[in-house]
Amino acid sequence: MSGFFGVASKESCVLDLFFGVDYHSHLGTRRGGMAVHGEHGFERAIHNIENTPFRTKFDADLDKFNGNLGVGCISDFEAQPLLMQSHLGSFAITTVGRINNLRELKELCFSKGMSHFLEMSTGDINPTELVAALINQKDSIEEGLSYVQDMVEGSMSILLMTPQGIYAARDKVGRTPIIIGEKSTGYCATFESSAFLNLGYHHYRDLGPGEIVFLTPTHIEVKKKPQEEMKICSFLWVYYGYPTSAYEGVNVEEMRYHCGDMLARRDRGEVNPDIVAGVPDSGIAHAIGYANQSGVPFARPFIKYTPTWPRSFMPTQQSQRNLIARMKLIPVHRLIKDKSLLMIDDSIVRGTQLRETTEFLYRNGAKEVHIRPACPPLLYGCKYLNFSRSKSEMDLITRRVIAKREGENVSDKVLADYADPNSTNYKEMLEEIRKELNFTSLKFHRLDDLKASIGISPCKLCTYCWDGKE
């Protein structure tokens, strides 16, 4: 995943930019970057943050930066922001999204006279550089941004900084957010609304799908009006979004309470756990909602030790991820031994880490471990955002179970039946997952309940990873 932050200020933007980008660190583990524009022109720094926090890597750069305009990002993939020079002038650009037709767009650029792209160490080209190349095919930045929105298959939100101000362009159907903050000295544009709260900004407004605006220290100019169709990613509320953020007016933490509440209502009378707990940290809010509704005490039978550990999925090897996940969890024996535990995790992807967690609880004396994922079974890999480095849908435990039952070539009709919580196939799939992962019981959040938990019009939500509907 990735996140970005931009500032247009009457004063120096450097500290606001530094902290605003840092507040996106939960969205990426590989690279961070900042670019500013001031009296000396453009200045930029990009650092590897795989083993060192963003703040530590960029602290030394602060004294070098000087300017009132700035953009920055946290990225799990390409290095950015990029500095570009073209017939449209000089600009810095950073993006959040995924380009599924990258090869076709690359060839399009070559056919229109572009001779080369810089190659990354992976052998691929930088998607942000490709976006810049597409913009440069048009006669103005505004036209170029609209062109990118139309041409990219997947999703693409953009911050583009010129010497005069910052363009903010939200994905054409709003799969990712761009939120504008305001204070007396200027404006900011951000992925996470929580990034500006401690910087003195207040919420100005969310950009609409496909909307393009131009931010200066004194005003915001709409360059392209928002479109009607919206498909914002539902998983932002379930897992990726920071608890203090809000998208489309819906706070992440509060939505997770609603999830837990509805899980408890569906569970009423079926299980009698001693305590409810969240798999830290993403399951905690869901678990609080469950406990509040059910009356079962919330507790923390194990604590996640985070001061020196990076995110557990940072290593490329699954064995390393599993080891780090184990090392992070420290048990509270008195809350585990001889207890029936109901655990809520944000989701089950491969199932490997949750199986390790369950075995960890049994080793420490748990009598029962009931699992309640806070979203429906994941049946499809995301086509629109770079949520995972997984290359195959067969990495999903659901698809492996379905393949055992149906073979690997499964029709959309059959998958739709497995997505239906009232079908026999769905119930039998859950039972096989339960047995494989050694849970006492397993019940997923229903998709209709998830939509209700978010509370905006269901037609505005992307739920592709659960139901395959585009």
Strand 186-190 and strand 179-183: the pairing is antiparallel
**Contact of 118 with 87, CB cutoff 8 Å:** no
Question: What SS3 class is residue 228?
Answer: coil
Strands (E), 254-318: 275-278, 302-304
DSSP string, 30-53: SEEEEEEEETTEEEEEEEE-SSS-
Question: Distance (Å, rounded) from C-alpha 78 to C-alpha 121?
Answer: 10
Q: Helices 102-111 and 127-135 meet at what angle, rounded to 10?
A: 40
Tell me the C-alpha distance between 93 and 73, whole Å. Answer: 10
Report the b/e string of 398-414 with b at 16+ CB within 10 A: bbbbbeeeeeeebeeee
Task: Please identify which residue in the block is written with the tokens 């605003």.
Answer: 20
Q: What is the pLDDT of residue 389?
A: 56
User: Domains in the chain and their CATH numbers?
Assistant: 2-230 (3.60.20.10), 251-467 (3.40.50.2020)
| Per-position b or e across 37-71, b if 16+ CB within 10 A of its CB | bbeeebbbbbbebeeeebeebbeebeeebebbbbb
Is the dihedral angle over the CA atoms 433, 271, 265, 283 positive or is it negative? negative
| Distant-in-sequence, close-in-space partners of 172: CB < 8 Å, separation ≥ 6 | 149, 150, 156, 209, 210, 227
Task: Report d(CA 3, CA 72) in Å as an integer.
Answer: 9
User: How many alpha carbons fall within 13 Å on the CB side of residue 105?
Assistant: 26
Kindly state the helix (H) or strand (E) to which residue 58 belongs, with its residue range.
helix 54-58
- Residue 46: the pLDDT is 95
The pLDDT of residue 381 is 92
d(C-alpha 377, C-alpha 418), whole Å: 9
Length in residues, the chain: 470
pLDDT digits (tens, 9 = 90+) for 188-246: 999 999 999 999 999 999 999 999 999 999 999 999 999 999 999 999 999 999 999 99
- In this structure, the number of other CB atoms found within 10 A of the CB of residue 224 comes to 18
Predicted local confidence at residue 312, as pLDDT: 41
Report which of 260, 94, 232, 251 is spatially closest to residue 172, judged by C-alpha positions: 232
Average pLDDT value over all residues in the chain: 93
Tell me the chain's radius of gyration from C-alpha atoms: 23
CA-to-CA separations, 218 to 18, 21, 68, 182, 210, in angstroms, rounded = 21, 22, 12, 10, 23
Backbone conformation region of residue 445, classed left if phi is above 0, alpha if psi is from -120 to 50, else beta: beta
**Which residues, in sequence order, are CB contacts of 338 under 8 Å at separation 6+?**
365, 367
Report how far residue 96's alpha carbon sits from residue 155's, in angstroms, rounded to the nearest whole number: 8
Q: Note the pLDDT of residue 387.
A: 73
Per DSSP (E only), the strands in 298-361 are: 302-304, 329-331, 340-344
What does the alpha-carbon distance between residue 256 and residue 355 come to, in Å, rounded to a whole number?
Answer: 23
Sequential pLDDT tens for the chain (470 residues): 899 999 999 999 999 999 999 999 999 888 999 999 999 999 999 999 887 889 999 998 999 999 999 999 999 888 999 999 999 999 999 999 999 999 999 999 989 877 778 776 677 889 999 999 999 999 999 999 999 999 999 999 999 999 999 999 999 999 999 999 999 999 999 999 999 999 999 999 999 999 999 999 999 999 999 999 999 999 999 999 999 999 999 999 999 999 999 999 999 989 999 999 999 889 999 999 999 999 999 999 999 887 665 554 444 565 565 666 667 789 999 999 999 999 999 999 999 889 989 999 999 999 999 999 999 999 999 999 987 655 688 899 999 999 999 998 899 999 999 999 999 999 999 999 999 999 999 999 999 999 999 999 999 999 999 999 98
**Residue 292: CB atoms within 10 Å:** 15
Q: How far apart are CA 235 and CA 239, in angstroms?
A: 6
| Tokens linked to 113 | 């006279």
Cα-based distances in Å from 108 to 8, 115, 116: 34, 11, 12
